[in-house]
């Protein structure tokens, strides 16, 4: 959207438009009015848009957002993938992908926002994470007149849905719509290829002390299913439950997949080798995945899913060896 300002300089008026041969003054005025209508049609067409967030609250923008702040690292990544990167003016800590996000001003961390920094950036849209941002702080931002759009992805398909939603909010549907379609295509191809293969029981380890995994509501459990696996703790209702060593030993998983910090293979993954009766140890099915590829609800989640599927295929090949 743009505005055009016409100013009359009375001391130095612009020279009159030359009249085409045979054109009367009133005809010229009509022609100029038509031109002005055409130029301003873009403004008229930028009608207000309304989108309902994941808390059920409708958000109305008078025009596509042009000063966006992301309040979670995964939301930063999705906004860029949706074509809204050029309108981003602020992010939270650990917003490190894509590279351009590293240069943006920081407004605190997702659990503890810097409200003063947010206000100074004068955003016209805040994209928030229901599961990570403090609802009290979000309420304060709304009280200051900020437009807050709250999201909470709970399924693999939600990544594509958020791509489309952010494309609408930023007016970047030309990028967001095909990106969402590509995500759905890749997900369907992955499920068709792996989901019906012989099941592999999996212990997915987030951390060592305390021993943490993923439960039923976690998207990673859906990834394991898409790869033909079974999460040994998928009966737990918590997103990231703390579990006992005994529960893992009793379940005797065929594969153990650990993340840890960044792309480095955690040293504690090899601690499982002391339990040589574990099937995962006997078959050397101790795997590692970069958490940025699978623990952020972004398009890169499918990159991590493809790695996990290949690892479970390795476990299948090692059966009986």
Q: In angstroms, rounded to a whole number, what is the distance separating the alpha carbons of residues 85 and 101?
A: 8
Domains in the chain: boundaries? 49-180, 195-317
Torsion of CA 317, 208, 237, 217, to 10 degrees: -60
Q: What is the pLDDT of residue 263?
A: 76
Q: At the top level of CATH, which class does the domain 49-180 belong to?
A: alpha beta
pLDDT digits (tens, 9 = 90+) for 87-128: 999 999 999 999 999 999 999 999 999 999 999 999 999 999
pLDDT at 11 over 50: no
Helix H or strand E segment including 50:
strand 49-52
Q: Domain 195-317 classified CATH 3.40.50.1980?
A: yes
Q: What is the pLDDT of residue 160?
A: 97
pLDDT digits (tens, 9 = 90+) for 277-298: 999 999 999 999 999 999 899 9
Lowest mean pLDDT among 22-36, 182-196, 202-216, 304-318: 22-36
Q: What is the pLDDT of residue 265?
A: 85
For the chain, what is the mean pLDDT? 87
Is 195-317 the same fold as 49-180? Answer: yes
pLDDT at 130 over 90: yes
Helix H or strand E segment including 28:
helix 25-45
Q: What is the pLDDT of residue 26?
A: 54
CA neighbor of 197 nearest in space, from 321, 317, 320: 317
Prediction pTM value: 0.82
For the chain, give the percent of residues with pLDDT over 70. Answer: 85
């Amino acid at each position: 959207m743009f505005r055009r300002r016409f100013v009359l300089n009375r001391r130095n008026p612009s020279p009159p438009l030359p009249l085409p041969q045979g054109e009367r003054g009133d005809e010229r005025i009509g022609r100029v009015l038509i031109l002005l209508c055409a130029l301003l049609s873009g403004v008229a067409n930028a009608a207000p848009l309304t989108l309902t967030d994941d808390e059920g609250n409708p958000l109305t923008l008078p025009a596509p957002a042009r000063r966006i702040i992301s309040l979670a690292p995964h939301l930063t990544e999705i906004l860029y993938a949706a074509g809204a990167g050029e309108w981003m003016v602020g992010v939270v800590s650990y917003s490190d992908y894509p590279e351009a996000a590293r240069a943006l001003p920081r407004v605190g961390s997702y659990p503890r926002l810097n409200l003063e920094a947010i206000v100074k950036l004068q955003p016209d849209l805040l994209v928030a994470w229901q599961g990570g941002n403090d609802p009290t702080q979000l309420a304060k931002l709304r009280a200051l007149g900020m437009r807050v759009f709250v999201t909470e992805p709970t399924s693999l398909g939600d990544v594509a849905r958020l791509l489309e939603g952010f494309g609408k909010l930023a007016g970047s549907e030309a990028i967001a719509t095909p990106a969402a379609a590509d995500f759905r295509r890749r997900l369907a191809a992955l499920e068709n290829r792996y989901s019906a293969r012989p099941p592999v029981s999996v212990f997915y380890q987030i951390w060592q002390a305390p021993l943490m995994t993923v439960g039923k509501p976690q998207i990673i459990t859906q990834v394991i299913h898409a790869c033909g696996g079974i999460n040994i703790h998928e009966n737990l209702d918590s997103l990231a439950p703390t579990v006992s060593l005994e529960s893992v030993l009793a379940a005797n998983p065929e594969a153990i997949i650990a993340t840890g910090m960044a792309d480095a293979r955690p040293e504690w993954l090899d601690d499982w080798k002391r339990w040589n009766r574990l099937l995962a140890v006997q078959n050397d099915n101790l795997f590692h995945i970069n958490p940025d590829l699978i623990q952020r609800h972004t398009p890169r989640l499918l990159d991590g899913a493809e790695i996990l599927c290949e690892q479970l295929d390795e476990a299948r090949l090692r059966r009986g060896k």
